[in-house]
Chains A and B, each alone.
Chain A
Amino acid sequence: MDATTAAAELAALDANRAALSERVVQPWWYDALLGLLIAGFISSYSSHNTWVILIALVVFLAGVRALIAVYRRITGLWVNGFRPGRTRRAIHVFFVVYAVVLGAAAAFEFLLDVRGAMVVGGVVLGIAVAVISHWWTRIYVAELRGER
Chain B
Amino acid sequence: MKTSLIRIFVLVTITFGFVSCNDFLKEDPNGQLMSNNAFTQASDLDGAVNVLYRQVSRSTFGITQFIQAIMGDDLSTHRASNKAGIREWDLYGVSTGNDRLLWCWQDKWLVIKAANFIINGASNTPNVTEEDLNYALNQAHFWRAWAYYYLVRTFGPLPMVTSNEVDFSIGLSTVSDIFNMIVTDLQAAENLPANYTDTPRSMNGINIVANSAAAKAMLSNVYLTMAGWPLNLGTEYYEKAAAKALEVITGVENGTYKYALYENYADIHSVAENKKNKECILGIYYSNSWGDGDSSESARGCINDFPDCTGGWCDTRAEIGFWVNFPEGPRKDATYPVVTYNSGDGKAYPWWSESLPDANRYPYFGKSKFTNDGTEYDIYKSLGSQCNGWVDQTHQMIRLSEVYLWYAEALGRSGQTNAKAIELLNIVRNRADGNGVKSDASINRYSLSMTASELAEAAYNEHGWEIAGWLWGAIDCRYNDMQRMDRVQDHFNTRVQNPTYVIPGAGGITRQEPNAPTGSWSESLMYVPYPEQDVNRNAALNISLADKLNLIK
A binds B: no
